[in-house]
Amino acid sequence: MIVDQKINEFLMDLSSSSPAPGGGAASALVASIAASLTAMVANLTIGKKKYLAVEPEMKKIVAEATSLRDFLTQLMDRDVEEFNMIMAAYKLPKETAEEKELRDKKIEEASIRASNVPLETARACIKIMDLALKVIKSGNVNAVSDGICSFQFANSAMKGALANVKINLNNISNPEILQQFNTEIDNMEKESINIYEKNKELLEKVK
């Protein structure tokens, strides 16, 4: 698994002229960093007298955030695998009309499957943004900057993941499937803007 790599090795792979791992896997990693930071703030809140009232909530947040973190690290590998499937489809023969048709079909199928990976990353990011806001609001005040980092990273990972969904949609012609994807993308973009605007002051001021 990619998470068994050293950080530096991953960064070298990412920088190289090999297109995978790319933005999709990187979005999942940034999201998992965000989830880790929310877990940290909740962990720094648990066991402190001052925060006894929110301890049950914080324990739940640790469980949810670490589970999202682990799910996201798996998505890193899935992203690379699905990308390679698209590349394999592109390499199919395209001499005859029949071959061309089959190749187009395979590219479209692989692109639909591949689009689902960053879409799952984006969905996880919305959840992390929500958890991050909770730790910013009621978690250990000394770690509020870590909560803000978590929110910002999750927000950018969502945007990055959705850019990866959108680029894959170029290979999809099925109008119903395209509409499904586009509707969910629109909804998530609107939701994330709403969450940001509603909590702007909380996110931009560090007390």
78 binds its own copies (CB under 8 A): no
Give the residue, chosen from 75, 110, 157, 195, that forms a contact with its own copies under the rule CB under 8 A.
157
What span, in angstroms and rounded, lies between the C-alpha atoms of 111 and 164?
11
Binding to its own copies by residue 133, rule CB under 8 A? no
152 sits near its own copies (criterion: CB under 8 A): yes
Piece of the chain touching its own copies by CB under 8 A; list 18-26, 93-101, 105-113, 171-179: 18-26
Element (H, E) at 113: helix 97-138
Closest approach of its own copies to the CB of residue 175, in Å: 19
What string marks each residue from 163 to 182 as x (binds its own copies by CB under 8 A) or -?
xx-xx--x------------
Q: Identify which range of 78-86, 146-154, 173-181, 191-199 contacts its own copies by CB under 8 A.
A: 146-154
Q: Residue from 79, 124, 131, 150 that binds its own copies (CB under 8 A)? A: 150
**Torsion (CA) 89, 91, 96, 100 in degrees, nearest 10:** 30
**Nearest one of 164, 144, 133 to 28, comparing CA atoms:** 164
Give residues with Cβ within 8 angstroms of 26, minimum separation 6. Answer: 14, 160
Which residue, chain included where needed, has tokens 């640790």? 62
Q: How far is CA 16 from CA 12, 19, 22, 88, 169, in A?
A: 6, 8, 10, 20, 25
Considering the rule CB under 8 A, would residue 8 count as an interface residue with its own copies?
A: yes
Count interface residues toward its own copies (CB under 8 A): 58
Q: Is 50 in the site for its own copies (CB under 8 A)?
A: no
Q: Which amino acid is at 74?
A: Q
CA distance 34 to 149: 7
**Residue 138 binds its own copies, judged by CB under 8 A:** no
Taking CB under 8 A as the binding criterion, the range among 36-44, 93-101, 104-112, 172-180 that sits at the site for its own copies is: 36-44
Q: Which has the closest alpha carbon to 122: 162, 168, 174, 175?
A: 162
Distance between CA atoms of 160 and 76, rounded to whole angstroms?
Answer: 13
User: Which residues contact its own copies by CB under 8 A?
Assistant: 1-8, 10-11, 14-17, 19, 22-23, 26-27, 29-30, 32-33, 35-37, 39-40, 43-44, 46-47, 65-66, 69, 73, 142-146, 148-150, 152-153, 155-157, 159-160, 163-164, 166-167, 170, 206-207
